[in-house]
Amino acid sequence: MKHILIDCDPGHDDAMAILTAYANQDKLNILGITTVGGNQTLSKVTKNAQNLLGFLNAKIPLASGQEGPLIRKLQAAPEAHGEGGLDGYSFEEKEYPLTSRNAVTFLRDRILQCEEQVTIAAMGPLTNIALLLKVFPKVHSKIERIVLMGGGLSHGNCTELAEFNIYVDPEAAKIVFQSGIPLVMAGLDVTEKAVITEVEIESLRNKGRVSRMAGDLMKFYYESGKQFGFTDSPMHDLCVIAYLLEPEIFQGTYWHVEVSTENGKTRGLTYADCRLSGSQEKNVFVLEEVNRQRFVQLFLQSMEYLDTCHENTCVNK
Ligand code: BDR
Ligand code: CA
């Protein structure tokens, strides 16, 4: 059993990742979920997380964190995720509880309270995680690794060179990449291969309650992806959870990766020293390939499993 903390900014692909983790609690012990300003403002992504967890009748502690990047202004992504950050499905309003602690102290407490090491699944700008590592260095030894969606060695999506999560808060990303904690990077190199097709999305919409909700959300995300040239939808953040569940369906390479905090063209660029003679410590396992068929099957099966759950029974798979 892995103990995980999910830091996210839902976000359609964040939502699919949360759902898949929730469906697989026999393998992933979700110690908590934290939100960070990213795809939309902190209040919107937190509301989205509350709506999603309320829909599931979940009992997972939720904390909201930083409104925006360490030193820059938040740049949200309404063009991909809509004005609400998770457009495409109208959730019934429910009062899902939010802890009174900030995400950063919440993360610290959950990590230090856990008897075993904890994995952080990071799916948004790395602001909360960077603060956690800087303000509470005691947590370092208790973190087994950080599996993050961000970056890309070959290209960007927010700019030519930078991926959104890293571009939004490059200073935070730099802190995390230099932390010395084992890192797995699910960047655009792999996440743009981890796609779901329109037909596969449509198949969700004829199934049960959770599949239909996921299908409606993904339909919105699929349509918005067309403006960026996608014919299938990349399930970026889902790669983090899929990697934790089935690492064998991914391939990757260890590289020394750095983050550019320069202003201008290279802001948020993640770059690797790929020389055979490169002598710097290889600090990141960069995912490059995924078995797409199995990746999508894992997702669809997870949604089908949640369709069969009533109230909290899915906790005991
Ligand atoms: C990342 O940016 C966000 O829009 C997605 O949720 C994902 O975390 C992809 O670049
Ligand atoms: Ca995200």
Per-position pLDDT tens, the chain of length 317: 999 999 999 999 999 999 999 999 999 999 999 999 999 999 999 999 999 999 999 999 999 999 999 999 999 889 889 999 999 999 998 889 999 999 999 999 999 999 999 999 999 999 999 999 999 999 999 999 999 999 999 999 999 999 999 999 999 999 999 999 999 999 999 999 999 999 999 999 889 999 999 999 999 999 999 998 899 999 999 999 999 999 999 999 999 999 999 999 999 999 998 888 888 889 999 999 999 999 999 999 999 999 998 654 565 44
Å from CA of 164 to ligand 1 middle? 6
Q: Which atom of ligand 1 is nearest to the CA of 191?
A: 9
Å from CA of 314 to ligand 2 middle? 25
Answer yes or no: are the C-beta atoms of 266 and 43 closer than 8 Å.
no
Whole-prediction pTM = 0.96
User: Tell me, what's the pLDDT at 315?
Assistant: 57
* Closest residue by CA, ligand 1 atom 2: 164
Answer yes or no: are the C-beta atoms of 121 and 151 closer than 8 Å.
no
User: Tell me, what's the pLDDT at 316?
Assistant: 46
End-to-end CA distance of the chain: 13
Å from CA of 1 to ligand 1 middle? 27
Answer yes or no: are the C-beta atoms of 287 and 188 closer than 8 Å.
no
User: Tell me, what's the pLDDT at 310?
Assistant: 64
Q: Ligand 1 in contact with 164 (CB < 6 A)?
A: yes
Per DSSP (E only), the strands in the chain are 2-8, 28-35, 62-64, 118-122, 143-149, 183-186, 195-196, 233-234, 250-259, 270-273, 284-290
Residue 26 class from Cβ within 10 Å (0-12 exposed, 13-18 middle, 19+ buried)? exposed
Catalytic residue from among 3, 236, 256, 310: 236
Q: Compute the CA torsion angle 17, 19, 24, 28 (nearest 10 deg).
A: 60
Å from CA of 316 to ligand 1 middle? 30
User: Tell me, what's the pLDDT at 115?
Assistant: 96
* Closest residue by CA, ligand 1 atom 4: 39
Q: Which atom of ligand 1 is nearest to the CA of 149?
A: 8
> How far is the C-alpha of 268 from the C-alpha of 150, rounded, in Å?
10
Q: Ligand 1 in contact with 130 (CB < 6 A)?
A: no
Residues paired with 62 in a beta bridge: 33
**From 14, 40, 75, 164, mutation site for ligand 1 pocket: most ligand atoms within 8 A of C-beta:** 164
What is the number of H-type helices and E-type strands within the chain?
A: 12, 11
Q: Which atom of ligand 1 is nearest to the CA of 157?
A: 10
- Rg, Å, the chain Cα set: 18
Answer yes or no: are the C-beta atoms of 262 and 270 closer than 8 Å.
no
Q: Which atom of ligand 1 is nearest to the CA of 14?
A: 6
Q: Ligand 1 in contact with 143 (CB < 6 A)?
A: no
Å from CA of 111 to ligand 2 middle? 22
Phi/psi for 60 (5° steps) reads -90, 130
81 is catalytic: no
